[in-house]
């Protein structure tokens, strides 16, 4: 793909690219058929993986050559997998390189006792040979402390070689010598004084804005009652958590109702008598509501067709347009930010009945903030610490970042601590490669529960600690989104102390009158690959993507989700809908951390506690008393509404 220098400069923002770096960037895009946005995403990944997320690193030609090498390596790996899987056709095994094809020789090999023993002994080399025996229990100390051995660069562990490596891993050595711990990476209202709470402060507790999802056994297929994604069955009982069974009619009904709700609110907001059917020809300017679709050439050699201004369609609801779709022409639209699944209100014309020409996208009505009367006991000051997993480095399972995070939390003495999973991640390289000799639950009990116990004992009794699950969590039975909270029985099995609570994922809770919305799934990373935009002025892209959740009133508005994402349960869609306008929206992501305030909402990505080979970041939030801000700042507009965003200061801190 040929990319001009203007596109590259636009994607890299105010960064000044030297001419040789520009030329190298254009060469990479042309060689690997990347757009300027694709190259910028690769550059962000490079910063996170190689530079600890330091955005001050300049994209020089030498560093872009390293990005080229990483892209080339990934391309060769995919080609290798494709070649190995190509033979899985008729007569093949269908498992690519994972299973060797059976020999066509009809003669069967015969083995006796000596040959089998020789084969087993041959699996253990040199000094590793020893009589076969049951390995000793290694529940606490049986972890591979150092994951790299001198033989082939891999950990030598098997039931026949139960020895472990006591030396710290290379990344652990670098981590112990880091000099940036405690550094503030980003902040909001840093000019506000430190929060000081009086002695004997009342307990800080998170109360749900909706009833927690019931954790129960999966229903059988004839006990459906999942129409419209409501959480009550036909008998009026809370619907149990269920997955791996969902009707197509449920998904279509959910989509239809999302469009209808937005249409009703848009009509009332703009006092429109009737919304138009955009699939019909209209010579005059009309307003319509529908859902954005990306309909291109479908699957190609390089995967699905990327979204662009040429592949946009608008899907109507059954009532407004019989569910039909129409192509969107956005060439005359001055500003837009779109992604698949987004519900929009469009204004424009359809002159021929085949294409709707958009003149503008109308701003969707906002959810109202809770009034002072709707907030229990008003707004009380408190401090919070928010962190997201993974909590260990990528080449060991010693959880050093978690231990240091607990030290930071103890020093801050917050009123509430949110710890977001994954705690034992299925994507950890050692777990994925089988270099571990204990169950995930045993690993949690051995490494994580003691840190939770230490945190619980050190914090005041009035403080609260809450765990939020993740779709990557191995110690949790539900992999789809949304997820119910950890059950108390499961937490007891994992050794979690009694003073630690649990929230569902996503969670919408009120803490001392401040509304938190927590979406512990990397929606920002999914959106950054699916968004197409035209903006008249530069803006912070990641906070803009987070704002889409507020605008859509939904904690996962992208549809369909990417293939690597866990299934999104339409039957529990009500758990993804925002119950009230959040004061603080938390969206953990592997992308760059940030904290911003926009339209009286604090948008926060605390980052991950561990960034592969280095320490990550966490967030500290302080909600100040109204006396800490200028008169009139805490109450905006009518006195019945309070906006805690004006009372909130925050900082992103390096572990």
- Asked if 595 contacts 540 with a C-beta cutoff of 8 angstroms, the reply is no
Q: Give Cα separations from 581 to 133, 550, 643 (angstroms).
A: 61, 7, 10
pLDDT of 75: 81
SS3 state at 235: coil
Topology annotation, domain 368-654: Purple Acid Phosphatase; chain A, domain 2 (3.60.21)
Q: Read off the pLDDT of residues 320-347 as tens digits, 9 standing for 90 and up.
A: 999 999 999 999 999 999 999 999 999 9
Pick from 127-131, 231-235, 401-405, 531-535: least confident: 127-131
511-523 average pLDDT score: 94
Pick from 73-82, 250-259, 434-443, 556-565: least confident: 73-82
Topology annotation, domain 250-362: OB fold (Dihydrolipoamide Acetyltransferase, E2P) (2.40.50)
Residue among 328, 334, 291 at smallest CA distance from 312: 328
pLDDT of 302: 52
pLDDT of 450: 96
- Asked whether residue 488 carries a pLDDT value surpassing 60, the answer given is yes
CA distance 149 to 143: 14
Share of the chain above pLDDT 70, in %: 76
Concatenated DSSP letters of 167-212: SPPHHHHHHHT-S-TT-EEEEESTTSPPP-PPTTPPPP-EEESSPP
pLDDT tier at 14, thresholds 50, 70, 90: low
Domain boundaries, the chain: 5-78, 250-362, 368-654
Pick from 137-151, 256-270, 334-348: least confident: 137-151
CA distance 199 to 193: 18
Higher pLDDT pick, 301 / 289: 289
Strand partners, 361: 346
Q: Averaging pLDDT over each range in 69-73, 207-211, 302-306, 515-519, which range is the top one?
A: 515-519
pLDDT of 410: 96
pLDDT tier at 237, thresholds 50, 70, 90: low
pLDDT of 232: 53
pLDDT of 406: 97
Residue among 582, 618, 624 at smallest CA distance from 602: 582
10 Å CB burial of residue 630 (0-12, 13-18, 19+) is: exposed
């Amino acid at each position: 793909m040929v990319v001009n220098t203007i596109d590259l400069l636009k994607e890299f923002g105010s960064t000044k690219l030297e001419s040789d770096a520009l030329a190298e960037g254009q060469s990479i895009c042309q060689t690997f058929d990347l757009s300027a946005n694709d190259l910028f995403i690769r550059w962000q990944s490079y910063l996170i993986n190689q530079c600890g997320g330091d955005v001050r690193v300049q994209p020089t030609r030498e560093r872009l050559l390293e990005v080229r090498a990483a892209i080339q390596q990934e391309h060769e790996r995919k080609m290798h997998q494709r070649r190995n899987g190509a033979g899985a056709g008729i007569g093949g095994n269908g498992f690519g390189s994972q299973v060797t094809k059976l020999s066509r020789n009809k003669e069967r090999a015969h083995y006796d006792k000596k040959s089998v023993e020789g084969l087993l002994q041959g699996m253990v080399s040199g000094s590793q040979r020893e009589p076969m025996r049951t390995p000793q229990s290694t529940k606490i100390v049986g972890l591979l402390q150092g994951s790299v051995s001198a033989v082939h660069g891999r950990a030598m562990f098997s039931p026949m070689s139960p020895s472990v490596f006591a030396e710290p891993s290379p990344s652990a050595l670098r981590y112990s010598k880091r000099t940036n711990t405690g550094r503030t990476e980003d902040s909001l209202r840093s000019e506000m004084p430190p929060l000081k709470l009086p002695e004997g402060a009342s307990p800080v507790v998170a109360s749900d804005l909706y009833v927690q999802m019931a954790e129960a056994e999966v229903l059988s297929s004839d006990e459906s009652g999942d129409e419209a994604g409501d959480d009550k069955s036909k008998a009026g009982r809370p619907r149990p958590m269920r997955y791996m069974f969902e009707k197509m009619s449920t998904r279509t009904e959910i989509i239809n109702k999302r469009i209808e709700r937005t249409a009703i609110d848009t009509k009332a907001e703009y006092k429109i008598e009737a919304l138009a059917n955009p699939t019909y020809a209209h010579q005059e300017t009309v307003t319509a509501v529908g859902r954005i679709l990306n309909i291109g050439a479908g699957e190609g050699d390089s995967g699905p067709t990327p979204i662009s201004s040429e592949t946009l369609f608008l899907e109507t609801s059954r009532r407004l347009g019989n569910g039909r779709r129409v192509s969107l022409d956005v060439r005359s639209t001055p500003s837009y930010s779109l992604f698949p699944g987004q519900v929009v209100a469009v204004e424009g014309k359809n002159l021929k009945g085949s294409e709707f020409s958009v003149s503008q996208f109308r701003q969707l009505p906002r959810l109202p903030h809770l009034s002072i009367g709707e907030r229990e006991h008003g707004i009380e000051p408190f401090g919070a610490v928010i962190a997201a997993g993974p909590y260990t480095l990528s080449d060991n399972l010693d959880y050093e970042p978690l231990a240091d995070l607990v030290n930071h939390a103890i020093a801050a003495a917050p009123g509430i601590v949110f710890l977001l999973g994954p705690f034992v991640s299925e994507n950890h390289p050692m777990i994925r490669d089988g270099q571990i000799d204990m169950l995930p639950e045993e690993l949690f009990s051995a490494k994580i529960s003691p840190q939770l116990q230490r945190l619980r004992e050190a914090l005041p009794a009035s403080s609260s600690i809450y765990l939020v699950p993740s779709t990557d969590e191995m110690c949790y039975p539900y992999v789809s989104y949304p997820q119910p909270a950890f059950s108390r029985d499961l937490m007891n099995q994992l050794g979690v102390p009694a003073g630690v609570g649990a929230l569902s994922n996503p969670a919408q809770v009120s803490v001392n009158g401040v509304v938190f919305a927590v979406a512990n799934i990397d929606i920002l990373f999914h959106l950054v690959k699916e968004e197409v935009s035209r903006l008249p002025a530069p803006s912070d892209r990641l906070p803009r993507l987070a704002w889409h959740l507020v605008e859509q009133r939904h904690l996962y508005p992208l549809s369909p989700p990417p293939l690597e994402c866990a299934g999104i349960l339409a039957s529990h869609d009500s758990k993804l809908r925002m119950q009230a306008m959040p004061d603080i929206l938390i969206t953990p992501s592997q992308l760059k951390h940030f904290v911003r305030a926009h339209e009286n909402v604090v948008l926060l990505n605390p980052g991950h506690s561990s960034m592969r080979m280095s320490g990550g970041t966490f967030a500290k939030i302080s909600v100040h008393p109204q006396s800490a801000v200028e008169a009139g700042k805490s109450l905006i507009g009518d006195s019945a509404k309070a906006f805690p965003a004006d009372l909130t200061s925050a900082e992103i801190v390096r572990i």
